[in-house]
């Protein structure tokens, strides 16, 4: 599995920890930045990660900012992206099982490093259940194509 990872300045340190954790598990990781704690605009990194997934260059992505909120809002603007902000392992597991989340969003100021790594591990280990959940994702995909009433 290939995972693309990105962060803004607030998420930089946690991104580095998550990246090292993933590499240690044998995961192929592409880091699209930021590469320092200098101020950076989170939407630009959300776009990079989302486009990697849209273009088939990675199966999943991880985005990290201070709260994870900005990253999740930004990433979800892209067709086919299902970015989920998770603050615990249960949310991470369910985001995969029921929502087939392809981007995990974390808040570096919300979760500590140990919890973040546990969330990442739970998210990696889960698969989409399909079934009744596929019908719901199809509704969302129809909205993305302009057929919905949103």
| Active site residues per annotation | 65, 98
Domain holding 139, by residue range, is 2-144
How many CB atoms lie under 10 A from the CB of residue 123?
Answer: 23
Residue 150 covered by a domain: no
Supply the pTM of this predicted model: 0.94
81, 93 Cβ separation under 8 angstroms: no
117 inside domain:
yes
Is residue 149 one of the residues assigned to a domain? Answer: no
pLDDT at 147: 53
Q: The domain that contains 37 carries what CATH number? A: 3.40.1400.10
Residue 39 lies in a domain: yes
| Chain segment 9-42, per-residue pLDDT in tens | 999 999 999 999 999 999 999 999 999 999 999 9
**Cα–Cα distance, 31 to 98 (Å, whole number):** 27
125 lies in some domain: yes
Cross-strand bridge partners of residue 106: 64
What 3-state class would DSSP assign to 61? strand
Residue 40: inside a domain? yes
User: What stretch of H or E contains 23?
Assistant: helix 12-24
CA 136 to chain centre: 20
Kindly give the parts of the chain with pLDDT less than 70.
146-150
What pLDDT, on a 0 to 100 scale, did the predictor assign at position 146? 63
State the SS3 of 123-137: HHHCCCCCCHHHHHH
Strands (E), the chain: 2-7, 28-31, 60-65, 83-85, 103-107
Helix (H, G, I), strand (E, B) or coil at 64: strand
Q: Dihedral of CA 129/131/132/134: which sign?
A: positive
Count structural domains, the chain. Answer: 1
């Amino acid at each position: 599995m290939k995972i693309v990872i990105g962060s803004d300045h607030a998420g930089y340190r946690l991104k580095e920890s998550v990246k090292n954790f993933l590499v240690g598990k044998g995961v192929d990781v592409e880091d699209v930045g930021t590469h320092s704690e200098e101020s950076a605009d989170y939407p630009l990194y959300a776009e990079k990660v989302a486009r990697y997934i849209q273009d088939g260059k990675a199966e999943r992505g991880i985005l990290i900012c201070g709260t994870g909120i900005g990253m999740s809002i930004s990433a979800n603007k892209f067709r086919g992206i299902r970015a989920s902000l998770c603050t615990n392992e249960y949310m991470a597991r369910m985001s995969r099982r029921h929502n087939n989340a392809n981007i995990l969003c974390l808040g570096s100021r919300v979760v500590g490093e140990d919890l973040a790594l546990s969330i990442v591990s739970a998210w990696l280990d889960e698969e989409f259940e399909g079934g009744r959940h596929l019908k719901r994702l199809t509704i969302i995909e129809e909205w993305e194509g302009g057929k919905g009433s949103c």
